[in-house]
Amino acid sequence: MNRLSAMKSAALAGAGFALTSLAILSTGGGDVAHAQALANHNSNAPVDFAANSIEVQDRSDRVVISGNVRVTQAGLTLTAARMTVAYTRAGGTDVNRLDATGGVVVTKGDERATGNVAIYDLDKRLITMVGNVELRQRGNNLRGGRLLIDLNTGRATVDGRGAARGPDGNPVSGGTNGRVTGTFTVPERKQ
């Protein structure tokens, strides 16, 4: 039995990671792993901000938040060193996108995702994290260069690719040489 088959068997045997498909695929862009993450999140809920400094740049339709940034929405919490919030003002203020940098952590319940940079597109309901990403769920974890969480489906994809530049235009480090690594717990079985 090859390594891929053994990993699939372990996942299907109740590894407890709620994997939709542990399909570690070797592609030109690097290895990829899929998992369920942040399912049933309400991205229409209010977005609350707290930080050491909040600067409203009204002419640019954005807010720059820095210093111990904490953003919450319907049980989801995002923390970072700095964040830019983009919004529109058609009939009120509508937050469209959050760009976070500096030790970004996204948590909801027992799920935790970390990375150097995160972009939360509220319109598309997508969270993209880049650089030293890690997804942890119930003692299981995946590590890679990039993590994409689709809040529509609850599906998370980790791959070994990173981005050359973050949302602020600065280089993002923390790639994994095109590899995804992980650890999955296996429940004790009666013999």
What per-residue confidence (pLDDT) applies to 8? Answer: 29
Distance CA 134, CA 10 (A): 20
Whole-structure pTM over 0.85, yes or no?
Answer: no
Nearest to 20 by CA among 44, 37, 4, 42: 37
Q: How far is CA 125 from the centre of its chain?
A: 12
CA atoms within 13 A on the CB side of 93: 11
Give the pLDDT confidence of 160-187 residue by residue, as tens digits. 876 544 555 555 555 556 778 888 888 8
Per-residue confidence band for 3, with pLDDT thresholds at 50, 70 and 90? very low
Give the pLDDT confidence of 134-166 residue by residue, as tens digits. 999 888 888 999 999 898 888 888 888 765 445
DSSP 59: G
Distance CA 147, CA 30 (A): 13
Nearest to 142 by CA among 176, 170, 117, 119: 176
What per-residue confidence (pLDDT) applies to 27? Answer: 28
Give the pLDDT confidence of 31-84 residue by residue, as tens digits. 444 444 555 667 778 889 899 999 999 899 999 999 999 999 888 899 999 999
Tokens standing for 76?
A: 């989801």
* Domains held by the chain: number: 1
177, part of any domain: yes
Distance CA 157, CA 35 (A): 6
- Give residue 144's domain range: 20-183
The CATH number of residue 124's host domain is 2.60.450.10
85, part of any domain: yes
Assess whether pLDDT exceeds 50 at residue 24: no
145, part of any domain: yes
Please provide the DSSP assignment of 160-179 as one string.
Answer: S---SB-TTSSB-----TT-
189, part of any domain: no
Q: Which amino acid is at 25?
A: L
7, part of any domain: no
What per-residue confidence (pLDDT) applies to 23? Answer: 26
